[in-house]
Structure 1
Amino acid sequence: MKGVSGENQPSAKVEGRPIRHGAKTKPCRCLGTTERFMTQLDHQVHSIGPEVAGSRIFKFIAFLYGIAAYLVFFVTILYAIGFVMGVMVPKTIDTGAEAPVVRAVIINLLLMSLFAVQHSVMARQQFKGWWTQFVPRPVERSTYVLLASLSLLLLFWQWRPLPAVIWEVENPDLAVTVVTLSFAGWVLVFTSTFIINHFELFGLHQVTNHLVGKDMEPPRFKTPLLYKFVRHPIYLGFIIAFWAAPTMTAGHLVFAAVTTLYIFVGIALEENDLVDLFGDEYRQYKQRVSMLIPWRRSV
């Protein structure tokens, strides 16, 4: 939507009286310091480009919103590492208010289901087509990231521990190895996001392009680095991080099992979208590269 400031509007009248050609006018002394400053500021804003001040303000607000959503995500993913590994956070997967086993399992399943539904439904193209009628497209991804982060924070807050021990690695050296493997899984997650474009994946690229007036490039099919060996290295990293636990409690086992099941459901949904988007190019990629295990085409 374009607009023109009042100073650019041709006017034949002032206060309802015609201005005679060549007539002298007295300078108006009705503007105070604040009003004169605002007039100068308005002129400066309008001189930046063809957009009106409102669109510039919206772009800046959208940019700040994208940064805020990313910061919430970043704090959430750092907390997730501590939550799963049981380190450096006030509440972990094995701590907090306990509940009867059946109630705890139901609560935890509901929390994970809420995240799964939000995360999968909002990622579908059909939902995006409806959703962007209400949410501006430049902040659609940031909104998705923000809501996913909030649903995870809710899970961390309301999670009910199930402390019964399923297995425990007693050898100190082996326990350190397992912890290192879990940490390596998280490193794989982060590395894989940067390989494909971390900031686009989490919405910052979109709001930055919108701020500077640059159009988003259409998606191109590419398989950089790790994606030449497995189709979903991010999900592989999550699976490693969730299962590599020197002490596996019942609560941790429920979390790891359900999230792994959800990962396979998410992969199926995501790959359907990718086939729709890239067609035979992605079908050939599926035949050539394994899903999760390098050098094994079936999985």
Structure 2
Amino acid sequence: MVSSILILVLCLFAFAALHSIVASLRFKRFLRRRLGPRVDTLYMPAFSVMAVLTILPLAYVLYKNPGPFLYIVPSPWRWLMVGGQLAAAIVAPRAFRDAPHRFRVSSQLSGPGTAEAGHLDIRGVYRWVRDPFLLSGLVIMWLTPFMTVNLLIIYLLTTIYLYMGSLHWESRLVAQFGDEYREYQKRVHRIIPRHKE
């Protein structure tokens, strides 16, 4: 049991380390020097494929070593939880569609008021929550209708990683959009959907 938890934690830390390096501005600057403007069209698809491929070993180890069950939610509550997970799974693709300019490498490497940084352009899901990826990830994880010891450990560590990543992402957005983003932070909550006029 202890060895399976250790293997899971090591897989998660390896994923998080690689994910953090590839998502860093330093790595993006390196790619921009190497690829030029093509980095904007190549980065997100490549990053998404890398994320899926590097999470597969963790998923496999967790599948093979789930650990003892802590609970299994009975019907009909389980289907309500699965419905919540499906709703959250719809949010992430919408977030990409509602703010494609936030994910272009050239925009992320620019400062406030520059043509490359662009304007914040709040629309869609971003009117209600500043970090829809954090929200959807947390909902998908914590509405899982069963829980094992190993799954709980991975979910706790992943929640911490996602939260820290969200803080880092917010600091980047402030660097990209400046006061425009700071004003947005005052109106819209980062995780809990709400909107203040």
Q: Which residue of 2 aligns with 1:169?
A: 73
Gaps of 5+ in 1: 1-100, 204-216
Q: Identity across aligned pairs (percent)?
A: 26
Give the 3 Å change call, closer, same or farther, for CA 162–275 of structure 1 in structure 2. same
User: Once structures 1 and 2 are overlaid, which stretch shifts more, 161-170 or 106-115?
Assistant: 161-170
**Which deviates further from its counterpart, 229-238 or 121-130?**
121-130
Instruction: Quote the offset at 1:192 in angstroms.
Output: 2.3
Contact 1:231 1:289 survives alignment (8 Å): yes
Correspondence for 1:188: 91
The Cα shift of 1:133 comes to: 3.9
Letter in 2 for 1:192: A
Is the helix fraction higher in 1 or 2? 2
SS state of the match for residue 121, structure 2?
A: coil
The normalised TM-score by structure 1 is 0.54
How far apart are 1:242 and its partner, in Å?
0.7
**Number of residue pairs matched by the alignment:** 182
Amino acid at match of 2:47: Y
Tell me the distance in 1 between the aligned counterparts of 2:141 and 2:100.
24
Corresponding residue to 2:116 among 213, 218, 221:
218
Question: Partners of 2:5 and 2:34 in 1: how far apart?
Answer: 36
Residue 236 of structure 1, CA deviation: 0.5
Structure 2 residue aligned with 1:238, among 137, 155, 160? 137
User: Structure 2 regions of 5+ residues with no counterpart?
Assistant: 106-114
Note if contact 1:189-1:235 (Cα within 8 Å) is conserved in structure 2. no
SS state at 1:248 partner: strand
**1:166 counterpart SS class:** strand
Residue aligning to 2:19: 119
Match of 1:292, SS? Answer: coil
Aligned-partner Cα distance in 1 for 2:37–2:9: 32
Q: Judging changes above 3 Å, is the alpha-carbon distance between structure 1 residues 240 and 146 closer, same or farther for their aligned structure 2 residues?
A: same
- Structure 2 letter corresponding to 1:165: F
Structure 1 residue aligned with 2:57: 154
User: What is the alpha-carbon distance in structure 2 between the residues aligned to residue 296 and residue 235 of structure 1?
Assistant: 17
Deviations 1:116-173 (A, max 9, x none): 1222222222222234444555145143333223212232334452331222223x11
Give the aligned partner of residue 150 of structure 2. Answer: 251
TM-score (norm. length: structure 2): 0.79
CA contact (8 A) 2:128 2:195 kept: no
Distance 2:34 2:180 in 1: 33
* Partner SS, residue 104 of structure 1: helix
Cα distance change of structure 1 residues 268 and 195 upon mapping to structure 2, 3 Å threshold: same
- Of the candidates 124, 134, 143, which is equivalent to residue 46 of structure 2? 143
- Cα distance between partner residues in 2 of 1:240 and 1:105: 23
Say what the alpha-carbon RMSD is for the aligned residues.
2.6
Larger radius of gyration: 1
Q: CA deviation at 1:261?
A: 0.9
Match of 1:208 in 2: none
Over 6 Å off, 4+ runs = none
- Residues 88 and 140 in structure 2, CA contact (< 8 A), matched pair in contact too: yes
Task: Give distance in 2, aligned partners of 1:256 and 1:197.
Answer: 28
How far apart in 2 are the matches of 1:226 and 1:236?
A: 11
Q: CA deviation at 1:174?
A: 1.4
